[in-house]
Amino acid sequence: MTSWSRFTDEAPHITEIFLRRYRATGNLCLLGTLRADGSPRISPVEPRVFEEFLVIPGMPGTTKFRDLARDSRFCLHTATVDTHVSDGDAKLFGAVLDLPDRDVHARFAQQLFDESGFDLRGEEFDHFYVADLTGASTVELVDGHLDITIWTPGEGERVVQKH
């Protein structure tokens, strides 16, 4: 599994852009999943970095969670409003793992409460999805050309320039 902490070690530049865009939008990202018929679905989500995990939270019974239960693959895209991507843009790819560890759930609920006041303490999670990252990329406009930074586990980051 490629945890969030391993990803940040191997892809510091992509991590920096992802976190900058994530924070600039109030933690909003767009989650791409696959519907039962194989067509794509895009859903808003507020992922959370917690311990060594990137958690993909959501309300129980949502269509995005049904999609992930059926096919765990996803794409997580920072919300973009600037067509010139002057602040960068990031995408993370992978599959979710359903982490059944109730101690982790309790610590997550406490941190969520401490940071936001949203109280899930004492609740049982029907799913606790964490990201197993399999790839990532960013796009940035640099000196009139696009820099595309690509990460693959174990290979570090590489930059492709588009003129």
One-letter-per-residue 3-state SS of 119-149: CCCCCCCCCCEEEEEEEEEEEEEECCEEEEE
Predicted TM-score of the model (pTM): 0.91
Query: Considering only CA atoms, which of 162, 155, 163, 114 is closest in space to residue 14?
Result: 155
Residue 86's pLDDT is what? 76
Residue 63's pLDDT is what? 94
Q: How far apart are the first and last CA of the chain?
A: 35
* Rounded Cα distance, 127 and 94, in Å: 17
DSSP run (H or E) holding 25 = none
Per residue of the chain (163 residues), give pLDDT as tens. 898 999 999 999 999 999 999 999 889 999 999 999 999 999 999 999 999 999 998 888 899 999 999 999 999 999 877 777 778 899 999 999 999 999 999 999 999 999 999 999 998 888 999 999 999 999 998 888 889 999 999 999 999 998 8
Q: Is residue 46 within 8 Å of 27, Cβ to Cβ?
A: yes
Q: Is residue 77 within 8 Å of 32, Cβ to Cβ?
A: yes
Residue 19's pLDDT is what? 94
